[in-house]
Structure 1
Amino acid sequence: MSANDAAHGGPDAHGPLRPVPDTGSLPVSLISSIDPVLRDVLVTSLLLERPGMLALRYDVDAEHGALRRVLGDAERVIDDSLVELDHPCVSCAMREDAIPLLARLAGESRWNGLLLAPPISADPEVVVRTILPGRQGWHLGASAAVVDTRTAVHDLLEDDTLAERGLQWADGDERAVGEALAAQIEYADLLVLDGADGAARELIEHLRAPEQQVAASMHTLHPKTLLLGRHSRARAEARRDPRRVAPYGGPTAHGTWTLDLSSDRPFHPDRLLEHIEELGAGRLRGRGRFWVPDRPGTICQWDGAGGQVSIGAIADAGRDLPTTRLVVTGVGPADAERVRRAFGRILLTPEEWADGLAPWLGIEDRLAPWLGEREAAA
């Protein structure tokens, strides 16, 4: 186990996203946020900077059980309609509405770009997976997440839920605000920061990958930065893949820390349940993978933010035994030592590990409610 707090470049240290050749298709850039005001301010600002560009915005209209679709440019609202939800799947409704609409707009050949703003708190990975297979005449430019640094530390680390704030993406959305915001930050090609809070900017530096670009202000972002960029779905999904988790580190002037906790040993199922709050509760963002000895062929995910922790079986391990690695970021010094101790307590001890996996054959599957039923005994 080791702590990684090495700094990398600050928000103003990054050049523009690498441009790509003009393919003749319409560039579409995704704008994600948990703040409707900031999202709309950014979109409006970009429209004013580049005549001939469109914005397509979707919002959940809970009162009418519909999606509100607003299409416009810098001068006018072209369309403001309600898209009926025949089922509770918002992403399905977006697919049914956005895919043909984007194809039609791309075919008109009079627009030089489009900003697509999905509903507030939407997971951009889900949105891209939903619409990308149906693309016709358009391609994804760089994706952006706009973040309010005045509230980002609270949003990412406290236990507010989307439901408490009225920000649910859909009925039954039980995510914490921190989970939704972390997903947007980790997926985006470009982070657009508003506000000058140093602690928030430091925290974001720990959470973002070095390849992700940072705009220090909404007012310094030019539309070409988004439209001439090219979104790589594979690269964005790799940043969020718990099997490939890595610590990024960052500055520590405001007390932000990142722990890189790793071991070849698995978690003890009983001790995981006993110490899970010590490892995951509190003002933390934690991601990674683990395994348990009664499921040696399964890689499990650890995903924690906003005081919530989600675990689940995500992949087969293949021929080799899995490994355990969690990357945890926080802001309280006492939390770092608590997390480190809990990680060590949950792992199989060297003596238990020396006994091999035979003692775990056929034992009760204590984690089945979270990991699902195992297919066969280890």
Structure 2
Amino acid sequence: MLLSVLSTTDPLVRDLAALAASDCADLLTCDFDEDDAVLRLTRHGRQLWEHRIPLAHPCLTCSLREAVVPALVDMAHGGTERLTLCLPTAVEPVVVVPLLAGLTQAGEALEHCEVTTCVHAISQDNARRDLLTHTPLSEVGLALFEDDTRCTGEVLMTSLGYADVLLSIGEDELGGDLVEHLRPFDTLRLDHLDQVTADVLFVARHDVERAIERVHPASTSAWGGPTTHGVWTLDLHSERPFHPERLLEFATDLAAGGTCARGCFWLPSRPDTICTWEVNGGSASVGTAGGWETSAHTHIVVTGTGEDGVRERVEAAFSNILMTEAEMPEAFVWIGADDGLSHWFPDEED
């Protein structure tokens, strides 16, 4: 059975995209309510069945797997040839699709399935708001669990980068340009529902490693796009680390409002650690992503719109935070020293 996956952050957009996909595949739609995962199988617009599976885990991924995988096994053995799995709204494909792909290996539960195209559908009319302003999922009725503190920008940034195909619906030209700046070069963009065809959904096999590479902070790229409506992208790169004290001083400028960003940096006080930087939905987050397998470097990609001075402020902040060439000979005196950033990297302190 060929299995494509659809993700969204908008229930209406999911309905439209699913309707388009229903012309060439059965649809398995998954939703969560307070107690259950709800699965609905439809064919050509007609619902064939609805199953409710009690949620046995607080872990979203575990609950989704326990609900969806047995249904996929039954359909594969029942002769279904093509199926589109419509994920619950605001579920990021990166937490589900690699798991499903892993289960298609020989001897695994889904060995008779092949994961094909991962599609993310987005309203470009809402893209600017959802990506650049702080919109908590809980405020728009999309929180998946009680303590879901994510915002729309966080989900969108990851989903846009991970998906093989972006279905961008709407008329807002700035929003369309913003989507284009965040779309990786090796993915396909569709602007019309009638472009959702069997060839798009089921011909190409999903490459998990490549998709993860697109969203990993240490391997993300600057893709750029049209600038007619004021959207811009900065590709900020250096072999030098951030100065810990100046990072604290200029972090607010580097995470300027009205921007979204992803990337990595290193610190002389933590030279073996990939430090991550992400800005979306009006907020910034710092974390870690393991250790360096290549030479440590600093690389942050920032996308924003035409607000006066924002681009220049971000560029200046990046330059100010970097250690200077004159400081580099003494950089490693920071090793083992208190860099004042333990509250940003609590896992490193354990």
What is the TM-score normalised by the length of structure 2? 0.93
The partner residue of 1:312 within 282, 287, 293 is 287
Partner residue in 2 for 1:290: 265
Question: In the alignment, does 2:86 pair up with 1:112?
Answer: no
Q: CA deviation at 1:365?
A: 4.2
CA contact (8 A) 1:31 1:144 kept: yes
Partner residue in 1 for 2:236: 261
Change (3 A) 1:354 1:143: same
Secondary structure (helix, strand or coil) at the match of 1:116 reads: strand
CA contact (8 A) 2:31 2:89 kept: yes
User: Partners in 2 of 1:317 and 1:184 — Cα distance?
Assistant: 25
Q: Percent identity?
A: 34
The partner residue of 2:102 within 114, 121, 133 is 133
CA contact (8 A) 1:144 1:190 kept: yes
> 5+ unaligned residues in a row in structure 1: which ranges?
1-25
Partner residue in 2 for 1:30: 5
Q: Where does 1:171-186 land on structure 2 (aligned, <5 Å)?
A: 171-186=146-161
User: Partners in 2 of 1:373 and 1:112 — Cα distance?
Assistant: 45
The partner residue of 1:58 within 21, 30, 38 is 30
C-alpha distance after superposition, 1:119-176 (max 9, x if no partner): 1111101011332322221111111111111111111111111111111233322112
- Number of residue pairs aligned between Structure 1 and Structure 2: 343
Question: In the alignment, does 2:341 pair up with 1:363?
Answer: no
Partner residue in 2 for 1:91: 61
User: Partners in 1 of 2:290 and 2:341 — Cα distance?
Assistant: 16
Q: CA deviation at 1:206?
A: 1.0
C-alpha distance after superposition, 1:242-296 (max 9, x if no partner): 1112211111000111111111111122221222111113111101100111111
User: Partners in 1 of 2:142 and 2:208 — Cα distance?
Assistant: 25
- Residue type at the aligned position of 1:126: V
What is the TM-score normalised by the length of structure 1? 0.86
The partner residue of 1:326 within 300, 311, 316 is 300
C-alpha distance after superposition, 1:226-253 (max 9, x if no partner): 1122211111111111111221111100
Partner residue in 2 for 1:68: 38
Any runs of at least 4 consecutive aligned residues in structure 1 with deviations exceeding 6 A, and if so which? none
- The higher-RCO structure (CA 8 Å, 6+ apart) is 1
Q: CA deviation at 1:353?
A: 1.7
- Residue type at the aligned position of 1:159: H
CA contact (8 A) 1:30 1:143 kept: yes
User: Partners in 2 of 1:375 and 1:307 — Cα distance?
Assistant: 28
The partner residue of 2:47 within 69, 73, 77 is 77
User: Partners in 1 of 2:234 and 2:209 — Cα distance?
Assistant: 26
Moved more, 286-295 or 272-281: 272-281
C-alpha distance after superposition, 1:165-201 (max 9, x if no partner): 1112333221121111121111111111111221111
CA contact (8 A) 1:149 1:201 kept: yes
User: Partners in 2 of 1:199 and 1:101 — Cα distance?
Assistant: 41
- Residue type at the aligned position of 1:142: T
User: Partners in 2 of 1:296 and 1:225 — Cα distance?
Assistant: 43
